[in-house]
Amino acid sequence: MEQLDLIPHLFRTEYRKIVAVLCRRFGFQDMETAEDIASETFLTATQSWGIEGVPANPAGWLYNVAKNKAKNHLHRNAIFQEKILPEIITNASDFEEMDIDLSPQNINDSQLQMMFAVCHPAISTESQIGLSLRILCGFGIQEIADAFQTGKDTINKRLLRAKEKLREEKITIELPAPGDIEDRLEPVLTTIYLLFNEGYYSVSKNETLRKELCLEAMRLCTMLIENKLTNKPQVNALLSLMCFHASRFAARLDGDGELVLYDEQDTNLWNTDLISKGGYFLHCAAGGDRLSRYHLEAGIAYWHTQKADTNEKWESILQYYNRLLQIQYMPIAALNRTYALSKAKGKGVAIKEAVKLGLTDNHFYYLLLGELYSGIDNKAAQQHFEKALSMAKTESEKRAIQKKIEYSRYSPR
């Protein structure tokens, strides 16, 4: 990987790890300092590597620089406090014992504790998720704004208030008491889910699939499963869902990086190992008496990994969507349900249901209508595809829709 590509990649994978460790070391009172040190570390890398070249172990180099910057910060604070408050700090040399531990185990522990600390009930759920995406997932402000479908100013104000609240409440960075885990787990899972979705279908950057985000979401979810306090059925269901989706990565894009729609995917490219892992975690999710959205979405994803295009498959998917929408209405789920309805009951029935949705501000709505009208009224299908094209957000998606338009234009009715 060339330097120009390497630093943004490392920023995405390592920035959040450094911030989590430093925040755990400094506390929320010094959260901005932790973020500043992590940012300065990457600025130093950009300057140094441009002259000296990329080191043999880039991540290790970043960790060493971050450690030194953090220890310098602690040293300056220790000297200042010794001079100003000698009765509190009697020996500034004790700072040498203030090591910054960036070992894999401490990174995992720090991230796990940070996830729950940020998702404290003292701040709103939206702020919990937004701050988690910022600190633990390395999202930019625009990416968070896109995830919440709001403006950057709103997100900036929300994050600022959340940080102030964490400081005011003197929230410590640690796992909550066992009795509080269940309630605090929901926003943590939502954050991981949003991280995976941003990778699976990215709108913030002109890319259709950002695998590194999906893999990071799976890693964070695995951390929850490996801890006995957080190894809950809904956590297993979420990891199952992500495994099933990840199993079709290789088939989602063609050799030119173009989006390949589900019906056109080469099923031989599906990863059977990930499908098996998805089945294992779905089995682990069967315990307990609570049916979460992740259980239902994992069930839907499971059936999408079954190659046979049978009525049983689409009836099962349809029933999962029916139950999912009863738990929580989501426009994209309603659209996907209508597609499953067309496969199970026919396009005529599905068209009537699709029109009722009226999701005219969503380009997937018009893409769905284009699919449903194809072969029934190709002129109407073309009009809907053209509307979807005018609203599409990524170039890859636009090219895929353009192919649909060409096909509908020259296909017999």
- The residue from 102, 130, 148 where one domain ends is 102
What is d(CA 377, CA 408) in angstroms, rounded to the nearest whole number?
9
Distance CA 400, CA 363 (A): 13
Q: Between 3-26 and 125-135, two packed helices, what is the crossing angle to 10 degrees?
A: 130
Residues 96 and 134 in one domain: no
Whether 111 and 64 map to the same domain: the answer is: no
* Segments forming the whole domain that contains residue 82: 1-102
Q: Which of 115-124, 129-138, 242-251 is the least confident region?
A: 129-138
Higher pLDDT, 213 or 234: 234
What number of other Cβ atoms are within 10 A of residue 219's Cβ? 13
Same domain, 196 and 140: yes
**20-47 pLDDT, tens digit each:** 999 988 888 888 999 999 999 999 999 9
Q: Say if 367 falls within a structural domain.
A: no
The single-letter DSSP state of residue 380 is H
**Are the C-beta atoms of 204 and 180 separated by less than 8 Å?**
no
- CA within 13 Å, CB half, 176: 18
Q: What pLDDT, on a 0 to 100 scale, did the predictor assign at position 97?
A: 47
360 part of a folded domain: no
If you search the block for the tokens 């979401």, which residue do you land on? 217
The DSSP code for 260 is -
pLDDT band at 96 (very low <50, low <70, confident <90, very high): very low
Distance (Å) of CA 90 to CA 71, 72, 97, 190, 215: 18, 19, 14, 46, 47
pLDDT tens digits, residue range 56-85? 999 999 999 999 999 998 888 777 666 665
pLDDT for 36 equals 93
Instruction: For tokens 């992500």, name the residue.
Output: 242
Q: What is the pLDDT of residue 259?
A: 76
Residue 303 lies in a domain: no
Is the same domain home to 38 and 95?
yes
What pLDDT is attached to residue 89? 47
Consecutive H or E run containing 189:
helix 181-200
User: Mean of the per-residue pLDDT values for the chain?
Assistant: 87
Whether 121 and 209 share a structural domain = yes
State whether 49 and 120 are in the same domain. Answer: no
The verdict on 207 and 237 lying in the same domain is no
In a domain, 201, yes or no: yes
Per-residue pLDDT reduced to its tens digit, 222-281: 999 999 999 999 999 999 999 999 999 999 888 777 778 888 899 999 999 999 999 999
**Do 166 and 148 fall within a single domain?**
yes
| Number of separate domains in the chain | 3
Angle subtended at Cα 258 by Cα 254 and Cα 261, rounded to the nearest 5 degrees: 80
User: So what's the pLDDT on residue 94?
Assistant: 47
386-405 average pLDDT score: 86
Q: Is residue 341 part of a domain?
A: no
In a domain, 92, yes or no: yes
The residue type of 319 is Q
**pLDDT band at residue 411 using 50, 70 and 90 as cut-offs:** low
User: Is residue 360 within 8 Å of 383, Cβ to Cβ?
Assistant: no
98 & 108 share domain: no
Categorize the per-residue pLDDT at 177 as very low, low, confident or very high, splitting at 50, 70 and 90.
Answer: confident
81 and 130 share a domain?
no
> Are 238 and 227 part of one and the same domain?
no
Q: What whole-number distance in Å separates Cα of residue 176 and Cα of residue 22?
A: 20
Last residue of a domain, one of 72, 102, 132: 102
